[in-house]
Amino acid sequence: MSTEFPLDKTRNIGIAAHIDAGKTTVTERILYYTGKVHRMGEVHEGSAVMDWMEQEKERGITITSAATTCLWKSHRINIIDTPGHVDFTVEVERSLRVLDGVVAIFCAVGGVEPQSETVWRQADKYRVPRLAFVNKMDRVGSDFGNVVGRIRKRLGANAVPIQLPVGSGELFNGIIDLIKLKAVFYDEESLGADYYEDEIPRDLLQASKDAREALLAALADYDESIMHHVVEGGEVSEEAIRSALRLAVNQAALVPVLCGSAFRNKGVQLLLDAIISYLPNPADLPAVIGTNPFTRKEEKRDPTVKDPFTALVFKVITDPYVGRLHYLRVYSGSLALGKSVINAANRKKERFTRILRMHANKREDIKEIFTGDIVAVVGLKHSGTGDSLCDVKHPLQLEMMHFPEPVIAVAIEPKTKADETKLADALRRLSEEDPTFLVKVDKDTGQTLISGMGELHLEILVDRMLREFRVQANIGKPQVAYKETITKSCRAEGKFIKQSGGRGQYGHVIIEMSPDPGGGFSFENRIIGGAVPKQYIPYVEEGIIDSMVSGPVNGSQVIDVHVALVDGSFHEIDSSDLAFRIAGGMAFSNGMRKAGPVLLEPVMDIEVVLPQEYIGDVMNDINMRRGKVEGMTSRSDAQVISARAPLSDMFGYATVLRSLTQGRAVYSMQFSHYDRVPEELVTEKQGRLWGLA
């Protein structure tokens, strides 16, 4: 029988960072030192516990966020190890939505890299408290002070070191604890399990005292004794520093910075101590707020088992052994196996047939769940990502999760007739798992198009179709997900009149359209005097939204348009919801043709890390791809080019870059914004054929 774990001794944390900063290695060391595993897994050997998918082992990257639970000093830590590749940013987004704290990993050489910024912005959105861990201090070119400076400058974070490294690169052999003013050294033979405190090396003593004073100055607002010390001198207790630090971190006002080398087994235990000392427990958090689906009134749930059961589904996966698994974060209350819950979004009842505590892809059955738990459940038939599961008598819809739009698509078709049904089933199940994976049928060609966040994203999904669902399919070349918008304001009319013997149909609207760059779609009702009755106005908006699916330039989705309903007319008998919906769509379609429609393409932020001697060739290549170099910075071991370029010109870039630099450069790319396609290229981009390989 599962028992409630004390909330003040529970931590729900995520490990997040740019690709190859060492997230999974840090997690593997945490599992080893907490006794969860008895052998350290290594990413490069394909033996990492948290990278359990075949695709992860082959590529040495994290693709799906894996959850696990471990114990450290009588505290239970629920950990989610998230991917670092931008194509799988949805995994980070939905994990951050349910986590109470994040450990952001930074490479001591690379510093703040593009995906580090993306993760940081996502954490800012949800106001998640953070610790920063500067990893890979053993690498040549590592620079702790430089990384701290970049965190402050590029991320705008109030980053304050609570540790300093003893040496760097091959000379890195210990860590200075600024709170105790002691040095910590590790025993190599015990794989870092044994460590001891010693005096700070003389040459680092003054720098350590200065860094401690900077830490105290940053904490002065949170503790009177520290404020007194800063103003008048005197001693400050370790307990006062830890208490003030915890308060500042919980308010997301300060980010403590730690250091180490997970691969060399240094610094991980001190990181675990910091997690339980400074990151919040579920009871530290404010009550969650949601909407009662029946009364439409706002309600709240406190993080306690006394409040009604409320949980959020943040992830759905297909497990080959138990079927569909729904991952939940429990915000309030408790629930025993076999009890019913209600899905607040669709008001359907659900029942858990199994409750599982996950350790990567391994499972432990439990009988009851409580506030603060992160678990997986089996048996849900009507629930998906972002749905709220609640006590049947006290439903509450929590804030929905929002995901980015896909930017790339390919055509897919089954190789044989026998694969048709299997392909449809595989696509349905994969799209249920991943909100950024969309499936649609092109109305002009009849082809099935799958859309995702990047080439790697779609490559992994197609590989899973083959391995997990045994589906053989032909895949087309990647195509960009274009959008359309307007460049000038206009007035347009839509009139739908139909007489068919009995009651007819009558809907008549006049709208004004104007460009709204970056604003998405907005609708405004300016009807005065009842020219269009109130009950029909929502249907006019629905008709407009229906028409936005396909624009006149390329048949692409329309974005960034403001529409105002200004006039119209109705018929006492013949007017209906449907008539005004059709009239709204007609008005929008008519207006699009008059408002200077243009084609938009996704533009990507690119960062290339390369040796000095290849800069000229790489910059020339970026310019040839309609790219624009935004800037260049130096690192101790390389140069970094920041640029922007259209996605359509970046396909196959990895191969070209490898050729230009003899395999010595790496790059990362993530979506920036949509921009107008140059007029001379529009005809070329309008090709609607999706050639199959």
- Mind listing the pLDDT tens digit for each residue in 181-224? 999 998 877 777 788 999 999 999 999 999 999 999 999 888 88
Residue 589 has pLDDT above 90, yes or no: yes
Tell me whether residue 1 is exposed, middle or buried, using C-beta atoms within 10 angstroms of its C-beta: 0 to 12, 13 to 18, 19 or more. Answer: exposed
Q: Per residue in 261-297, pLDDT tens?
A: 998 889 999 999 999 999 999 999 899 999 998 888 9
Q: 596 falls in which pLDDT band (50, 70, 90)? A: very high
User: Mean pLDDT across the stretch 462-476?
Assistant: 84
Residue 50 has pLDDT above 60, yes or no: no
Place of tokens 């050294």: 185
What is the spatial distance between Cα 594 and Cα 583, in angstroms, rounded to a whole number?
Answer: 17
Specify the DSSP class assigned to residue 400: P
Q: Per residue in 492-537, pLDDT tens?
A: 999 999 877 667 899 999 999 999 998 889 999 999 888 999 999 9
Of 688, 407, 441, give the one whose Cα is nearest residue 555.
688
Q: Can you give the C-alpha Rg of the chain in angstroms?
A: 28
Tell me whether residue 139 is exposed, middle or buried, using C-beta atoms within 10 angstroms of its C-beta: 0 to 12, 13 to 18, 19 or more. Answer: buried
Give SS3 for 184: strand
Single-letter amino acid, residue 129:
P
**Cα 452-543-582 angle, rounded to 5 deg:** 135
Give yes or no for a contact between 675 and 661, defined as CB atoms under 8 angstroms apart: no
Q: What are the backbone angles phi and psi of residue 177, rounded to the nearest 5°?
A: -90, 110
**Cα 351-352-355 angle, rounded to 5 deg:** 165
Structure tokens, 103: 């450990």
Q: 54 falls in which pLDDT band (50, 70, 90)? A: low
Indicate the pairing of strand 255-259 with strand 374-378: unpaired
Give yes or no for a contact between 475 and 462, defined as CB atoms under 8 angstroms apart: yes
In this structure, the number of other CB atoms found within 10 A of the CB of residue 572 comes to 7
The reported pLDDT for the residue numbered 58 is: 53
What is the spatial distance between Cα 438 and Cα 429, in angstroms, rounded to a whole number?
Answer: 11
Structure tokens, 651: 């396909």
In the chain, % of residues over pLDDT 70: 91
Print burial letters for 342-368: b (CB count within 10 Å at least 16), e (below 16). Answer: bbbbeeeebebebbbbbbbbebeebee
Which of 10-24, 35-49, 304-318, 673-687 is least confident? 35-49
- CB within 8 Å of 280: residues ≥ 6 apart: 11, 100, 101, 129, 249, 250
Q: Which helix (H) or strand (E) holds 342?
A: strand 340-343
Place of tokens 């693709």: 63
Q: Which residues pair with 388 in a beta bridge?
A: 312
Instruction: Sheet containing 490-498: give its strands across.
Output: 490-498, 505-515, 561-569, 521-525
0.85 exceeded by the pTM? no
How distant, in Å, are the alpha carbons of 3, 243, 251 from that of 301?
Answer: 21, 27, 20
Structure tokens, 690: 């999706």
User: Mean pLDDT across the stretch 152-169?
Assistant: 93
- First-to-last alpha carbon distance for the chain, in angstroms, is 54
Of 84, 82, 51, 61, give the one whose Cα is nearest residue 360.
51
Q: What share of the chain is helix, strand, coil (3-state, %, to 5)?
A: 30, 35, 35
